[in-house]
Amino acid sequence: MAEGVVGIARAFMGAGARSVLVSLWGIDDEATIEFMKSFYHYLAEGKPASESLNLAMKSLRESDKFRDIKYWAPFSLIGDDVTFDFMAKERDK
pLDDT per residue as tens digits for the range 3-61: 666 678 878 888 988 999 998 888 899 999 999 999 999 999 999 999 999 999 999 99
Provide the Cα torsion 27, 49, 33, 14; round to 10°. Answer: -70
pTM of the model: 0.82
CA pair distance 4, 42, nearest whole angstrom:
28
Provide the Cα torsion 4, 67, 40, 12; round to 10°. Answer: 0
Burial class (CB in 10 A: 0-12, 13-18, 19+), 74: buried
Residue at 22: amino acid letter: V
